[in-house]
Amino acid sequence: MHAAWYLIVAAMLTAWAVLDGFDFGAGIVHRVVTRDEKERGAILAAIGPVWDGNEVWLVAAGGVFVFAFPRAYAAAMSGMYLALVMVLWLLVLRGISIELRHQVDDALWRSGWDSVFAASSTVLAFVVGVALGDVLRGVPIDASGWFHLDLFAFGAGGRGALDAYTGLVGILAVAVLAAHGATYVTWKTRGELSERSARAALRTWVVAAVLAVGVTVATALVRPALFASLARRPWAWPLPLVALASPAVAMRALSRRRELTAFLASSAFIASLLLAVAATLYPVLLPSTLGAAFDLTAPRAASGDEGLALGLAWWMPAMILAVLYFVNLFRSHRGKV
């Protein structure tokens, strides 16, 4: 039962990264690809009907995580408390910047909130990438089952949430989500804005591909066991293959102005990359840098089987309703803004 819930948590976090990821990316690039207030308004109109719904996937994934794996949730939230607070404040700033920019008819007011939207989206993508890097690298869980990470660590033997490796993963996250957002804007807008977004997406995908190679090499140095685990699981091999192919598909589709194909390829890259990470880590939820004996695994961190079975019975119809809602939402707002 814990394996099913491991897959559910991974799938819901992946859905959040794909759906809210293009919102983040639109925020990252919207000061770069736009030239006037009308074009900035077009980007906000492109994400306006969906951005707050997309964020619900993070809330839902957090709720499922605390239900299915309460021990891992407690350890992660306490050990990365500062990063969690930063994520919450950045989400708040993104939300209020979208809402407040329309409240005063003043160019300086709107420009200021547009800058807040761009900055909070960029920093949020970086922080999320750093958190993923911490999970890949491992955290100092000891025999008590707890750990603590400062944002930075100074002095001999210190370990912080942000170091050279996790910072590189954070930069990769910014590049990938910027490319994802620019691809989405290309698909949803018209004219010169769509053309500039396509050019920005093509350039950013090249940067993201180079960074992805760098992160792969760095991960092999930091956690070589991950690649050994992947080699033992042939059922997971299609995922990295999709991750390798999808940026090329996205760039080819952008150059040919096949905008929906490019966006789907962009989504496939993010989804396959995150699911490959989950498949490689399983059954570990939080690896320990102090020894494999201290890893927080799904069997050790899970709730009781009876509770998990009852939760699954409720989760399935709820998820069907959620998926139907999102299908209807995107269908209702199909086409260009």
Q: Is residue 133 part of a domain?
A: yes
- What's the half-sphere exposure (Cβ side, CA atoms, 13 Å) at 102? 10
The reply to whether 251 falls in a domain is yes
In a domain, 243, yes or no: yes
Establish if 337 belongs to a structural domain: no
Per-residue pLDDT of the chain (337 residues; tens, 9 = 90+): 999 999 999 999 999 999 999 999 999 999 999 999 899 999 999 999 999 999 999 999 999 999 999 999 999 999 888 888 899 999 999 999 999 998 998 989 999 999 999 999 999 999 999 999 999 999 999 999 999 888 876 544 556 888 999 999 999 999 999 999 999 999 999 999 999 999 999 999 999 999 999 999 999 999 999 999 999 999 999 999 999 999 999 999 999 999 999 999 999 999 999 999 999 999 999 999 999 999 999 999 999 999 999 999 999 999 999 999 999 999 999 999 8
What is the domain extent for residue 274?
A: 2-332
Residue 240 falls inside a structural domain? yes
Beta-carbon contacts of 53 under 8 Å, excluding residues fewer than 6 positions away, are: 325, 326, 329
* Number of domains the chain contains: 1
262 located within any domain: yes
User: Strand, helix or coil at 244?
Assistant: helix
If 0-12 CB within 10 Å is exposed, 13-18 middle and 19+ buried, where does residue 232 land?
A: exposed
For residue 291, the surrounding DSSP H or E stretch is none
Structural domain contains residue 107: yes
Question: Would residue 97 count as lying in a domain?
Answer: yes
